[in-house]
Copies of this chain bind each other. A is one copy, B any other.
Amino acid sequence: MARMAIKNQGNAVFPDRAAQRELKLEALYEHAASAFNEKGFHGTSLDDIAAALGVSKPALYRYVPNKQALLYRLHCISLDAAEAAVTEGEASPTDGVERLRIALYLYIRSLTASSSACLVLMEEGAMTGAAAAEILSRRRAFEGRFRTLVSAGIRDGSVAPCDPKFAVFSILGAGNWVSRWYRPGGTRSGEDVARIMSRQLVRGLAADPSRYHLDGDVRHAS
């Protein structure tokens, strides 16, 4: 019994360590992503991040091997969420324009869900070497899947004939921009923002725009 208790304590302690570490890592990601977005990668010093976390600068190196790797990981987190969004959109049992809307909705929602998932969209140029190539290629593939959604929608008649390239630049550009102005705690939740914007943007591409009335989201429209 005594042994078991000790053992349980022991068992309890180690997960705590790991859990604490995971928490700190997540906090690091959030702060770093937030800072990178606001001040840029090169404009953010590790001192800034460390100070925001309340630790010393060298402490960061227990969680991330270096600043470049930190940026790389944030990009990965961001892309993971983005790819999950488009995957779920693709798999939705509906017609082309709706699949597009769902993918866009989920993508924008992911951008509002956490700093780590969104706030480094603009800092692709700061990466170098193989990491840069990998991230760029994943980002391109992500956009390609959106273009495929548009093309499919054109084929099934639910999307108005248009150039998929510009269509996707439009909606993803507008979506990415969300990370610039959206801050949690405002009058609208991330879901609200994602719903409103995805409907508005997809309405511009729909073969039958009347499917997407915008009234329900009106505010201060008088």
Interface residues of A (CB under 8 A from B): 38-43, 122-123, 125-126, 151, 154, 160-167, 169-178, 180-181, 193, 196-197, 200-205, 209, 212-215, 217-221
Q: Are B125 and A38 in contact (CB under 8 A)?
A: yes
Closest B-chain residue to A171, C-beta based? Answer: B174
A172 / chain B contacts, CB cutoff of 8 Å: 177
A151 / chain B contacts, CB cutoff of 8 Å: 221
Starting from the known contacts A163-B219, A165-B219, A205-B214, 5 additional A-B residue pairs (CB-CB under 8 Å) come to A38-B125, A163-B196, A163-B218, A164-B221, A204-B204
Bound complex: CA A203 to CA B169 (Å): 15
Q: Are A220 and B40 in contact (CB under 8 A)?
A: no
Closest B-chain residue to A193, C-beta based? Answer: B166
A178 / chain B contacts, CB cutoff of 8 Å: 169, 173
Q: Which of B176, B212, B215, B221 contacts A173 (CB 8 A)?
A: B176
Bound complex: CA A31 to CA B170 (Å): 26
Closest B-chain residue to A162, C-beta based? Answer: B214
A175 / chain B contacts, CB cutoff of 8 Å: 173
Given A41-B40, A174-B169, are A162 and B209 neighbors across the interface (CB < 8 Å)?
no
A204 / chain B contacts, CB cutoff of 8 Å: 200-205, 209, 212
